[in-house]
């Protein structure tokens, strides 16, 4: 048996231990990505082989959080893919304006940058106070950062560029104050946002939504988990509601493809028929 | 004779010219898939893949998530996404942290491809000005795959090929032309 085969075997054992003990099934995730993350976790934990992580699952306190933190790819930014946010601003928001109240769900919101971006757009449209924004992720450590709304100042330059490219109409600096190396986002942006833990693989939906954003999360799932999540979204969306997914994700081959029409062909915004 | 199942190529600065001339030498009916990471900032309109598709006999597209890795196709990692090859010989994408300041990263593609194809993989490093790809090429060699590096002396930017040679070594150090001839010589997965 060569090194690679051994590694695969160890990974299988580790994944099955995590499933039995924590009830997370990482068999539903893209294997190559998971393998890379777990190998990095082994290096960080100072062990040579993936199999040496197995006792940690059982006996190390907080290992669940450590594991989730290293499995979940938390990389995100404000107004990522500005053209998508421009379309939300110019096409989706006008359609939401006619509703008495608006329910929005950010699934897999990571550290929250995308959620605050949305809140800014809603405020500029005068719609924020009529919205409830549910922002969820299965990684509690990321949610903690999201709740604080405090981000490294060095990122602000890029965010400002994105904000402008996404059709921002105010001065981005109005939305944060500087505290040392941190940019603190205007806390009133958070008033309509509820952050909570939710696992897309296991948990139910929570009511009818007018807009769901789930970007760059489905790329990590295997086809059947993607389909499961698409069904969850389908059941959580009213007629005429919107679904926004990542630039490289598609509902085309999913079981819900026929219930949705492409609302904006260039930027992965779909509308439920 | 060993049958090869896939080719992965990593290229950075100078890649536009290098890929344009290299891929022009690859026949339309190339018997195995080619996956490429070309470092680039952003590419909203898939400009690079469209350009290469137009000037090359073989079909060139951006790799899509869940898509099968098929023979006779050249796949380009989309800008801002890492590209990986799964055991099921399907592509997956990731927005994981940059490696060597690059998303997509050559190492990420090479390492996942080495896991999947083992000793039936060919890894090629071309021109570039950083050291991405060195670890990946080393992994390909550890798994018994074939490593080809563009001769640093003939590359537009020599840093990346030189780093790869220093870190991983190479089975062949070729000019771009020689790499093209080598690839064109692959028939039904074998090199003659
Ligand atoms: C790359 S981030 C996406 C952040 C943001 N939506 C964006 O596009 O910038 C992926 C997020 O998906 C979350 N995630 C992964 N699996 C999940 C699951 N089963 N349930 C909920 N969230 C999950 C991760 O914790 C991570 O925060």
> B5-40, pLDDT tens digit by residue?
999 999 999 999 999 999 999 999 999 999 999 998
In a domain, A76, yes or no: no
The ipTM is 0.92
Domain boundary (A71, A91, A119) is at A71
Q: Tell the residue number behind the tokens 């563009």, with chain if given.
A: B150
Decide if B71 contacts B31 (C-beta within 8 A).
Answer: yes
A99 and A67 within one domain:
no
A203 and A153 within one domain:
yes
Domain boundary (A71, A97, A120) is at A71
pLDDT at A266: 80
Q: How far is B76 from chain A (nearest CA, A)?
A: 13
pLDDT of B146 higher than 60: yes
Q: Is A216 in the pocket of ligand 1 (CB under 6 A)?
A: yes
**CA gap A113, A81 in Å, rounded:** 13
**CA gap A131, B180 in Å, rounded:** 58
Decide if B107 contacts B162 (C-beta within 8 A).
Answer: no
Is B156 in CB contact (< 8 Å) with chain A?
A: no
Per-residue pLDDT tens, chain A, 273 aa: give them: 778 889 999 999 999 999 999 999 999 999 999 999 999 999 999 999 999 999 999 999 999 999 999 988 889 999 999 999 999 999 999 999 999 999 999 999 999 999 999 999 999 999 999 999 999 999 999 999 999 999 999 999 999 999 999 999 999 999 999 999 999 999 999 999 999 999 999 999 989 999 999 999 999 999 999 999 999 999 999 999 999 999 999 998 899 999 999 998 788 999 998
CB-CB neighbors (< 8 A) of B112 in chain A: 32, 35-36
DSSP letter string, A111-172: TSHHHHHHHHHHHHTT-GGGEEEEEEES-HHHHHHHHHTEEEGGGHHHHHHHHHHTT--S-G
Which of these, B70, B141, B66, B39, lies nearest to A31 by C-alpha position?
B66
Which of these, A133, A129, A125, lies nearest to A100 by C-alpha position?
A129
In a domain, A99, yes or no: yes
- Poorest-confidence range of A92-96, B2-6, B84-88, B121-125? B2-6
Which residue in chain B has the smallest CA separation from A224?
B66
A186 and A146 within one domain:
yes
A246 and A146 within one domain:
yes
Q: Is A70 in the pocket of ligand 1 (CB under 6 A)?
A: no
A102 and A64 within one domain:
no
A234 and A128 within one domain:
yes
A126 and A13 within one domain:
no
List beta partners, residue B124. Answer: B9, B148
A119 and A214 within one domain:
yes
A57 and A15 within one domain:
yes
Quote the mean pLDDT of chain B.
94
A203 and A108 within one domain:
yes
pLDDT, mean of residues B95-102? 90
Domain boundary (A52, A71, A90) is at A71
Number of domains in chain A: 2
**Under an 8 A CB cutoff, do A219 and B97 touch?**
no
**CA gap B17, B126 in Å, rounded:** 11
In a domain, A158, yes or no: yes
> A68-105, pLDDT tens digit by residue?
999 888 899 999 999 999 999 999 999 999 999 999 99
What 3-state DSSP class applies to B29? coil
A91 and A52 within one domain:
no
Is A253 in CB contact (< 8 Å) with chain B?
A: yes
CB-CB neighbors (< 8 A) of B81 in chain A: 219, 248
> In sequence order, what are the residues at sequence separation of 6 or more whose Cβ sits closer than 8 angstroms to the Cβ of residue B25?
B177, B180, B181, B183, B184
Tokens read off for A168: 């921002």
User: What strand order describes the sheet that includes A260-264?
Assistant: A193-197, A131-137, A102-107, A209-214, A237-245, A269-272, A260-264
Among B65, B95, B103, the mutation site with the greatest number of ligand 1 atoms within 8 A of its Cβ is B95
Q: Is A145 in the pocket of ligand 1 (CB under 6 A)?
A: no
Q: Is A72 in the pocket of ligand 1 (CB under 6 A)?
A: yes
> In sequence order, what are the residues at sequence separation of 6 or more whose Cβ sits closer than 8 angstroms to the Cβ of residue A198?
A107, A136, A137, A138, A206
Q: What is the CATH number of the domain that holds A139?
A: 3.40.50.150
Decide if B71 contacts B188 (C-beta within 8 A).
Answer: no
**CA gap A104, A16 in Å, rounded:** 35
> A204-230, pLDDT tens digit by residue?
998 999 999 999 999 999 999 999 999
CA-nearest residue, atom 24 of ligand 1 = A72
- pLDDT category at B1 given cuts 50, 70, 90 is very low
A44 and A154 within one domain:
no
Domain interval for residue A13? 3-71
CATH top-level class for B6-185?
alpha beta
CB-CB neighbors (< 8 A) of A226 in chain B: 66
**CA gap A65, B61 in Å, rounded:** 39
pLDDT of B2 higher than 60: no
Best mutation target, B78, B93, B110, B113, to test chain A (most A CBs within 10 A): B93
* Report field, pTM of the whole predicted structure over 0.90: yes
> In sequence order, what are the residues at sequence separation of 6 or more whose Cβ sits closer than 8 angstroms to the Cβ of residue A167?
A82, A85, A86, A89, A90
- pLDDT category at B74 given cuts 50, 70, 90 is very high
Tokens read off for A107: 């699934």
Which of these, A193, A158, A153, lies nearest to A176 by C-alpha position?
A153
Pairing of strands A269-272, A260-264: antiparallel
């Amino acid at each position: 048996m060569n090194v690679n085969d051994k590694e695969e075997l160890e990974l299988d054992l580790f994944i099955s231990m995590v499933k039995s003990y924590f009830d997370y099934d990482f068999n539903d995730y893209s294997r190559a990505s998971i393998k890379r993350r777990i190998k990095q976790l082994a290096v960080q934990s100072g062990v040579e082989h993936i199999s040496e992580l197995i006792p940690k699952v059982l006996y190390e306190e907080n290992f669940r959080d450590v594991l989730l933190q290293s499995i979940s790819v938390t990389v995100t930014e404000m107004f990522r893919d500005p053209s998508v946010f421009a379309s939300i601003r110019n096409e989706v928001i006008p359609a939401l304006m006619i509703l008495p109240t608006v329910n929005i769900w950010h699934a897999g919101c990571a550290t929250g940058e995308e959620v605050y971006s949305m809140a800014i757009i809603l405020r500029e449209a005068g719609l924020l106070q009529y919205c409830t924004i549910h922002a969820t992720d299965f990684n509690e450590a990321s949610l903690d950062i999201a709740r604080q709304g405090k981000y490294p100042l060095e990122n602000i330059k890029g965010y400002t560029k994105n904000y402008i490219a996404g059709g921002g109409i105010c001065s981005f600096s109005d939305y944060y104050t500087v505290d040392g190396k941190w940019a603190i986002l205007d806390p009133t942006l958070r008033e309509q946002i509820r952050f909570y833990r939710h696992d897309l693989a296991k948990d139910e939906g929570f009511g009818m939504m007018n807009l769901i954003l789930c970007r760059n999360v489905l790329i990590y799932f295997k086809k059947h988990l993607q389909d499961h999540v698409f069904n969850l979204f389908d059941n959580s969306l009213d007629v005429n509601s919107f679904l926004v997914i990542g630039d490289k994700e598609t509902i085309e081959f999913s079981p819900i493809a026929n219930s949705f029409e492409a609302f904006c062909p260039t930027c992965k915004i779909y509308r439920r028929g | 004779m060993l049958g090869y199942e896939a080719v992965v190529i990593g290229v950075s600065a100078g890649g536009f010219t290098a890929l344009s001339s290299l891929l022009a030498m690859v026949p339309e009916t190339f018997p195995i898939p080619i996956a490429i990471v070309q470092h680039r900032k952003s590419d909203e309109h898939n400009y690079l893949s469209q350009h290469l598709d137009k000037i090359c006999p073989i079909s060139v597209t951006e790799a899509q998530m869940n898509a099968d890795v098929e023979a006779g196709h050249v796949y380009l990692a989309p800008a801002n996404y890492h590209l990986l090859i799964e055991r099921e010989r399907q592509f997956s994408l990731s927005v994981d942290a940059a490696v060597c300041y690059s998303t997509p990263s050559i190492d990420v593609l090479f390492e996942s491809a080495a896991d999947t194809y083992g000793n039936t993989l060919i890894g090629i490093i071309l021109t570039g000005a950083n050291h991405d790809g060195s670890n990946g090429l080393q992994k390909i060699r550890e798994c018994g795959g074939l490593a080809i590096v563009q001769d640093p002396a003939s590359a537009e930017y020599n840093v990346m090929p030189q780093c790869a040679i220093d870190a991983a070594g190479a089975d062949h150090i070729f000019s771009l032309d020689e790499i093209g001839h080598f690839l064109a010589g692959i028939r039904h997965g074998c090199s003659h």
